[in-house]
């Protein structure tokens, strides 16, 4: 079905993925992908975004097959793929996080107990979530049980993991994300930030770089915290560290790190003049 797609036509060589899992499933079939890589003599695989880009098993099996995975080491993927684990790392580094539970909430009553201390509204989140899925805001105890069940079901369907945690809902925040790049020798840099506050259904619609009207001190602290976080994780290659900023108080909170290139990386490329995908390949090849 992708025989005439742009990426296929631009490539110098293309190979059909023959899988019994359907057109989309073929891109998730690790065995098929590695077999194609072996047959064609590939020495590296760029996972893009989505599909297997954050799959630790795929990264591990690439390494076992002698193929460079153009992304972070396999051990970094479960850390940043699980929001609770990432929160704990941030807390250990004194990076502020949204008030929330450090362990999964197993039933609606656990959410009621959290709200008794922190008040409503709260946000239910999938521990293994991403891309705006597996999230529901709750404004009162009414309808909480239904919201919990729906969020848990959506998380199970989207990520194969129904574990949820709960955070205090930060209302009308700015959403700031910091682009980072780390080499294989422990050096980490940031490539400034993007403001992605304009969203619809938790999906980013407009990205602006650099973030306008942002206090320079706050901007610098966000950059520093992003670099410290990925350095402490032993991270390599490109990634994005995301924060919520409260405009009225200039307080900000770490929410997650995406251990891959993002769709919106091109905004940073336009501002900095750096080809991030090229940089990913250079880092994987050993460049500092």
CA 260 to chain centre: 7
Q: Is 260 a catalytic residue?
A: yes
Give me the helices (H) in 202-275, please.
216-232, 265-272
Secondary structure letter of residue 97 according to DSSP: B
Among the listed residues 61, 136, 174, 260, the single catalytic one is 260
What sign for the dihedral angle of Cα 232, 179, 122, 153?
negative
Cis omega (within 30 of 0) on the bond before 225?
Answer: no
Q: Phi/psi of residue 222, each to 5°?
A: -60, -45
| Parallel/antiparallel/unpaired status of strands 44-45 and 68-69 | parallel
- The Cα 55–Cα 30 span in angstroms is 10
State the DSSP code for 209: S
User: Any idea which residue has 């940073």 for tokens?
Assistant: 268
Residues annotated catalytic, as ranges: 260
């Amino acid at each position: 079905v992708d025989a005439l797609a742009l990426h296929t036509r631009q490539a110098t060589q293309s190979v059909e993925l023959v899988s019994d899992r359907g057109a989309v499933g073929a891109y998730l079939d690790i065995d098929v992908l590695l077999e194609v890589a072996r047959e064609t003599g590939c020495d590296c695989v760029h996972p893009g975004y989505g599909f297997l880009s954050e799959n630790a098993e795929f990264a591990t099996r690439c390494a076992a097959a002698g193929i460079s995975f153009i992304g972070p080491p396999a051990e970094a993927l479960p850390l940043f793929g699980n929001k609770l684990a990432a929160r704990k790392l941030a807390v250990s580094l004194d990076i502020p996080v949204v008030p929330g539970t450090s362990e999964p909430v197993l039933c609606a009553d656990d959410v009621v107990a959290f709200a008794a201390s922190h008040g409503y509204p709260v946000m239910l989140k999938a521990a293994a979530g991403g891309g705006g899925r597996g999230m529901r805001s709750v404004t009162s105890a009414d309808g909480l049980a239904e919201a919990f069940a729906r969020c848990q079901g959506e998380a199970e369907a989207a990520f194969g993991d129904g574990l949820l945690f709960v955070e205090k809902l930060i209302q009308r925040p700015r959403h700031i994300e910091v682009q980072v790049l780390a080499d294989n020798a422990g050096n980490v840099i940031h490539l400034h930030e993007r403001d992605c506050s304009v969203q619809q259904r938790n999906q980013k619609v407009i990205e602006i770089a650099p973030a306008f009207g942002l206090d320079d001190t706050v901007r610098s602290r966000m950059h520093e915290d992003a670099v410290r976080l990925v350095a402490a994780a032993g991270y390599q290659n490109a990634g994005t560290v995301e924060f919520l900023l409260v405009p009225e108080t200039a307080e900000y909170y770490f929410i997650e790190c995406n251990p891959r290139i993002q769709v919106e990386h091109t905004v940073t490329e336009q501002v900095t003049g750096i080809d991030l995908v090229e940089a990913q390949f250079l880092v994987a090849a050993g460049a500092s």
